[in-house]
Amino acid sequence: MAIRLGDLAEAVGAELRGEAGVLIKGVGTLQQAGSGQLSFLSNPSYRRYLKTTRASAVILLEADAVECPVPALISTNPYLAYANAAARIFPPKSFQPGIDPTAVVAESAEIDADAWIGPCSVIAAGVSVGAGVFIGPGCIVEEDCEIGAYSRLVARVTLCRDTCLGRRCIIHPGAVLGADGFGLANDRGRWIKVPQVGRVRLGDDVEIGANTTIDRGALEDTVLHDGVKLDNLIQIAHNVEIGKHTAMAGGSAVAGSTKIGSHCTVGGQTGLVGHLTIGDNAHFSAATLVTRSFSQAGYYSGNLPAMENGAWKKLIVRLRHLERMAKDLKSLKKAIKTLTGESLK
Amino acid sequence: MAIRLGDLAEAVGAELRGEAGVLIKGVGTLQQAGSGQLSFLSNPSYRRYLKTTRASAVILLEADAVECPVPALISTNPYLAYANAAARIFPPKSFQPGIDPTAVVAESAEIDADAWIGPCSVIAAGVSVGAGVFIGPGCIVEEDCEIGAYSRLVARVTLCRDTCLGRRCIIHPGAVLGADGFGLANDRGRWIKVPQVGRVRLGDDVEIGANTTIDRGALEDTVLHDGVKLDNLIQIAHNVEIGKHTAMAGGSAVAGSTKIGSHCTVGGQTGLVGHLTIGDNAHFSAATLVTRSFSQAGYYSGNLPAMENGAWKKLIVRLRHLERMAKDLKSLKKAIKTLTGESLK
Amino acid sequence: MAIRLGDLAEAVGAELRGEAGVLIKGVGTLQQAGSGQLSFLSNPSYRRYLKTTRASAVILLEADAVECPVPALISTNPYLAYANAAARIFPPKSFQPGIDPTAVVAESAEIDADAWIGPCSVIAAGVSVGAGVFIGPGCIVEEDCEIGAYSRLVARVTLCRDTCLGRRCIIHPGAVLGADGFGLANDRGRWIKVPQVGRVRLGDDVEIGANTTIDRGALEDTVLHDGVKLDNLIQIAHNVEIGKHTAMAGGSAVAGSTKIGSHCTVGGQTGLVGHLTIGDNAHFSAATLVTRSFSQAGYYSGNLPAMENGAWKKLIVRLRHLERMAKDLKSLKKAIKTLTGESLK
């Protein structure tokens, strides 16, 4: 969709420096963008590409504007301004409401007249689908689910019975919401299934990545509050609660009954064990294992970064002998005390 | 389903203290349960909620009964008794057997008259489906699979050709059983696919979580024995064998040809490298990497727990200098020996 | 498919020792193979099974041939020769081209007359499907995807719009290619979605495992070059580029914009953070976190292997006191210097 640069500036609240009539039809990186394309400079490591960019316009900080060879949109948050501009250049595809003839929709399901149910999707009894909802091909929505207005199940999403989505949620392909939690009681060595009777409930504006799984609660619900964003291949166990606007990267996992606060970020492949309470504004590095509650805002880490294999092998051996080293240290301190008559400070 | 408390007590082998006629229709936590709901006390950290519970009955240990303000079911294993009680209050949904008109079932497939094949499911040639089997919407069952009686494919499950399920298995949405193992031979830098001709075989009462993947064997079969329970997003590689009643938590992974014994537990995000042999009753912490065989029963760990980022950064630097520390220690011991004429003990 | 041993030898470039007329119909391990089955010896730890094998023939190194009690095929790379032989004994199932009546194919999709579109698959507008392509049951191919000749979507694969596959690619069930990358801009605490307008492009001979996810690019494309092999449950973020013939094992993950060279291997559950550049022929151990670029070929590691829980607990305590140990060491060195007048060397 082509938009005049002046209109884009106004739409995203940026200051225009240059010709308002330039037509923007696409986006690109500083290196690759050409005529008709908008770019942005947010990460300083890309500043070196600014001088030679052939983009039709660049969104950037005031401080970077002097070096910009093309029309500029000045913003205090260029990446945010870019996000808003790109959303105008690439609006979500509109769709004709209706029900594809190959969809299987139960009679008792309430489908808003403005919603779309795609081919080979299955909508069970008692489901409620709000206005403007898009249910792509191959989705399965089990009994008594509720899908809030303008939500989008991209394709091949599974919502197990009773799952509730707020408004404007986006669920990517392969995600499974509301499967049974991993609840097992042990009967002299055999595992007995514990019925999982809670639900999955999502607030508004929640986005769930491809092949991510969110289990239903055992007793109470598993809850993701407004604005939570989950990447791909994430596991959320039963009775987890995630606060507003918390974002988690791919491959991370949260075990049962852990509560995470608002505005947290969780790095990729990071895991939280069960029954923890994490406060607001806590941030966890990638590939970290969180084994205790952190109530304070802060930045937490716990991984061993990759190194050359020879150095790593030596390190592992040293770690195995760390106990021995500690004992030697103790003996040395004692020996020094004997020699000098003084304890080490 | 409403059940008299006296009947529940008898059904789960618990001792009733209180009125047998109380009607139980649901379940809830000690904090949230209300009239008509059954609760339980198993984890001691919830004991503080017992005195004020408004549940209609609580399952608990004899020792906790004195503080229980409502009718009690006394059990030596309250969580197990609760699991059995909840299974009676929430029996698996019954279904009408048959084949949905939108299912695609090959002529040569043998579908028991008591089974259900859901909408948009695809059942290929040579498949055998036992009595009471439930195949939910969107499942794909490829050629020559066998599904034992009373097994349940919840929805959107994929069974690749030749996969065999025992009786009463439960497979959650998105699980893929029997995809090709990752077998590659190297031909001067290029990877050549090694045909994977083994199968996946599951015993009875196996449960497989959402989006979990279990690869077919390269030559022999990948085998999960009776009662194995796998959580979500687990990867089981070709030719793995998992012993009876072993349970694995979400995000864990087992590489090719590793054998795990019976009654083991594997924590979330834990990985086992290939070609290991793990004995019975071995237990692995979350996020542990298992690089060697452990034949003994026991508890094994190997992760670095999250800490405040500043402390973690210092630790990483110290680890990089551990070799230097070890050398300093050696020199110190030598110096002390020179000074005192004696070696450190 | 039965093949004469002499023909097999010729087909895989191995030297035959024994009767050319032996008929081979299957494959098996040295321990299990019987009449009509071909085996191979590649991993030396299986050599002990050679003498007693009942296979009809064994592929092995010249050096092992003397101990082989049955006809042998001599090869300098027995595993590769086995892969090629097995591919002849088990050729990919042929299929009748056509479109299953339950598939939903858009009018504007171009489906080669030699391709097969399976039951309950959905092919959107503008899709191009090449000669000999097999699209199994339950696949979803969104707008404007291109699928190169002889590629195979096994079953229930999702290709989001604009995804391009080269020739002879194999995509296993549950894989999702082209879902939106995890691009978010922060607006005073709220996450704003950044439109993801790049594509996913795969070269020729790429294989993607079950439930693996590959996100579309934010601006430019996410690219996997010829011969890349990904195992199951792998996460590839937006704008990642993976060089030719690189192989990644199950559960690994690559964060946004990281470039991996050619002929690399990545162990299971290993993660690479974003914006790295990894050179050719770099190899990463399982469960390693890669936090910086490695331009050199080499072998890199960074995990803490599992140990008995008691030893691990002591180690964790020692690690917490490592800073203290370093300070003690410093004081000891100073004390020794005071005593001896000399610094430690």
| pLDDT tens digits, one per residue of C130-170 | 999 999 999 999 999 999 999 999 999 999 999 999 999 99
| Within-domain flag for A345 | no
The verdict on residue C193 lying in a domain is yes
CA B107 to chain centre: 35
Choose from A214, A219, A333, A337 for mutation: most chain B CBs within 10 A. A219
Taking CB atoms and an 8 Å limit, are C140 and A154 in contact across chains? Answer: no
Pairing status of strand C72-74 against strand C15-17 = antiparallel
Cα separations (Å) of C271 from A48, B5, B203, C22? 29, 52, 33, 48
Burial of C264 (C-beta count, 10 Å sphere; 0-12/13-18/19+): buried
The closest of C56, C72, C52 to C64, measured between CA atoms, is C72
Q: pLDDT-based confidence at B268, cuts 50/70/90?
A: very high
As a whole number of angstroms, the distance between CA B102 and CA A3 comes to: 45
Task: Return d(Cα A245, Cα A205) in angstroms, integer.
Answer: 9
**Chain C residues 66-95 with CB within 8 Å of chain B:** 77, 79-80, 82-84, 86-87, 89-90
DSSP string spanning C131-196?
A: TT-EE-TT-EE-TT-EE-TT-EE-SS-EE-TT-EE-TT-EE-TT-EEEEPP--EEEETTEEEEPP-
Residues A213 and A72 in one domain: no
pLDDT of C343 above 80: yes
Find, in chain A, the residue whose alpha carbon is nearest to that of B43.
A275
Interface test with A, best of C123, C190, C233, C289 (most A CBs within 10 A): C289
* C147: closest CA of chain A, how far (Å): 19
Q: How far is B6 from chain A (nearest CA, A)?
A: 21
Whether A204 maps to a domain, the answer reads: yes
Residue range A54-76: average pLDDT? Answer: 97
Using CA atoms, how far apart are residues B209 and B157, in angstroms rounded to an integer? 10
Q: Does the residue A20 lie in any domain?
A: yes
Which residues, 6+ apart, have CB-to-CB distance to B66 below 8 Å? none
Find chain B residues with C-beta within 8 A of C345's C-beta: 331
Annotation says C225 is catalytic: no
Residue to substitute from A301, A307, A334, A339, interface B, most B β-carbons within 10 A: A301
CATH of the domain at B55: 3.40.1390.10
Same domain for A115 and A235: yes
A289–chain B Cβ distance below 8 A for any pair = yes
pLDDT (average), residues B297-308: 97
Q: Which two tokens stand for residue A22?
A: 């330039």
Contact flag A250-C233 (C-beta cutoff 8 Å): no
Helix %, strand %, coil % for chain B, to 5?
Answer: 20, 30, 55
Q: What are phi and psi of C43, to 5 degrees?
A: -80, 115
What contacts B10, CB < 8 A, 6 or more positions away? none
B118 and B25 fall within a common domain? no
Residues of C in Cβ contact (< 8 Å) with A312: 285, 300-302
Same domain, B85 and B146: no
Q: Does the pLDDT of residue A149 top 70, yes or no? A: yes
Contact status, residue B215 vs residue B176, Cβ threshold 8 Å: no
Q: Is C345 exposed, middle or buried (0-12, 13-18, 19+ CB in 10 A)?
A: exposed
Task: Give φ, ψ of C332 to 5 degrees.
Answer: -60, -40
- Whole-number percent of chain C with pLDDT over 90: 95
To the nearest 10°, report the CA torsion of B162, B163, B168, B172.
Answer: -140
C220 vs chain A: nearest CA distance in angstroms?
A: 7
Taking the C-alpha atoms of residue C37 and residue C57, their distance in angstroms, rounded to an integer, is: 7
The SS3 call for residue C116 is: strand
In a domain, C168, yes or no: yes
**Per-residue confidence at C345, pLDDT binned at 50, 70, 90?**
low
State the chains in contact with A (3 or more Cβ–Cβ pairs under 8 Å): B, C
Q: How far is A142 from chain B (nearest CA, A)?
A: 9
Check residue B341 and give its pLDDT: 85
Is residue A150 domain-shared with residue A270, that is, in the same domain? yes
Answering whether pTM is above 0.90, one says: yes
* Mean pLDDT, rounded, for A26-52: 95
Of the pLDDT bands very low, low, confident and very high (cuts 50, 70, 90), residue A345 is low
Taking the CA atoms of residue B92, residue B97, residue B100 and residue B104 in that order, the dihedral angle to the nearest 10 degrees is 100
pLDDT of residue A279: 98
Q: Same domain, yes or no, for A118 and A50?
A: no
- For C140, the closest of A27, A86, A137 (CB atoms) is A137
| pLDDT grade for A314, boundaries at 50, 70 and 90 | very high
Cβ–Cβ gap B251/C251 under 8 Å: yes
Both A162 and A261 in a single domain? yes
Q: Kindly provide the residue ranges of all beta strands, DSSP E only, lying in C203-286, ordered along the sequence.
A: 207-208, 213-215, 222-224, 229-230, 235-236, 241-242, 247-248, 253-254, 259-260, 265-266, 271-272, 277-278, 282-284
Query: What's the confidence (pLDDT) of residue C341?
Result: 85
Taking a contact as any Cβ pair under 8 Å apart, which residues of chain C between 129 and 158 contact chain B? 136-138, 154-156
Q: Does B324 touch chain C (CB under 8 A)?
A: no
Mean pLDDT taken over chain A: 96
Residue B42's pLDDT band (cuts 50, 70, 90): very high
Least CB–CB distance from B249: residue in A182, A191, A329: A182
Residue B42 lies in a domain: yes
Domain annotation covers residue B165: yes
- Helices marked H in chain B: 5-12, 78-89, 309-320, 322-340
Which residues have a Cβ under 8 Å from the Cβ of B241 and sit 6 or more positions away?
Answer: B222, B223, B224, B225, B258, B259, B260
Chain B residues near residue A299 by CB distance under 8 angstroms: 308-309
- Which long-range CB contacts under 8 A does C64-70 form with residues at least 24 apart? C65/C17, C68/C17, C70/C18
pLDDT score recorded for residue B292: 97
Are residues B80 and A219, on separate chains, in Cβ contact within 8 Å?
no
pLDDT class for A3, splitting at 50, 70, 90? very high
Rounded to an integer, what distance in angstroms lies between the CA atom of residue B279 and that of residue B241?
Answer: 12
pLDDT at B224 over 70: yes
Number of structural domains in chain A: 3
Determine what percent of chain A is predicted with pLDDT higher than 70. 100
CA–CA separation, B151 and B169 (whole Å): 4
Distance, in Å, from the CA atom of C205 to the CA atom of A9, rounded to the nearest integer, reads: 45
Give the length of chain B.
345
Q: Is residue A115 domain-shared with residue A200, that is, in the same domain?
A: yes
> In this model, does residue A92 exceed pLDDT 90?
no
Q: Give pLDDT, residue B343.
A: 83
CA of A230 vs chain B CAs: smallest distance (Å):
15
Per the listing, tokens 């970290």 go with: A288
Q: What is the CATH number of the domain that holds B176?
A: 2.160.10.10
pLDDT score for B280: 98
From the CA of B188, how many Å to the nearest CA of chain C? 10
For residue A241, is pLDDT > 70? yes
Is the domain of B151 the same as that of B15? Answer: no
Asked if B235 and B251 touch (Cβ cutoff 8 Å), the reply is no
Q: Does B295 touch chain C (CB under 8 A)?
A: no
Count CB atoms within 10 A of the CB of residue B30: 22
Q: Is the pLDDT at B345 greater than 70, yes or no? A: no
Question: What totals of helices (H) and strands (E) does chain C contain, helices first?
Answer: 4, 40
Q: Which of A238, A263, A275, A283 is catalytic?
A: A238
The pLDDT score that the predictor gives to residue B65 is 95
C345 found inside a domain: no
- Which of C47, C66, C89 is the last residue before a domain boundary? C89
Q: Report the residue from B184, B302, B336 with minimal CB separation from C304.
A: B302
Window 168-227 of C, Cβ < 8 Å to B: 170, 172-174, 205, 207, 209-211, 227
Of B321-330, C122-131, C287-296, the poorest mean pLDDT is in B321-330
CB pairs under 8 A between A and B: 223
Q: Which chain A residues touch B336 with a CB distance below 8 Å?
A: 332, 335-336, 339
Q: What per-residue confidence (pLDDT) applies to C344?
A: 74
> Between the CA of residue C190 and those of A154, A246, C55, C215, what are the distances in Å?
22, 9, 65, 22
Nearest CA in chain B to C87: B195
What's the distance, CA B49 to chain centroid?
A: 29
Provide the domain limits for residue A320. Answer: 310-340
Interchain contact, B190 vs C86, CB within 8 Å:
no
Q: Smallest Cα–Cα separation from B180: which of B143, B219, B216, B233?
A: B216
Residue A105 is predicted with a pLDDT of 98
For a pLDDT cut of 70, what percent of chain B falls above it?
100
Of A205, A249, A306, the CB nearest to C289: A306
**pLDDT higher than 90, residue A341:** no
Our CA-based measurement puts residue B206 at a distance from the nearest CA of chain A, in whole angstroms, of 10
Choose among C71, C92, C90: nearest CA to C25: C90
CB A190 within 8 A of CB B227: yes
Whether B344 has a pLDDT exceeding 80, the answer reads no
Closest by CA position to A222, among listed A267, A165, A264, A262: A165
DSSP state of A180: P
Tell me: do C122 and C246 sit in the same domain. Answer: yes
Note whether A26 and A174 are same-domain residues.
Answer: no
Instruction: For residues B123-130, give the mean pLDDT.
Output: 98
Residues in B 224-243 with any Cβ partner in A closer than 8 A: 227, 229, 231-233
Q: Do residues A322 and A215 share a domain?
A: no
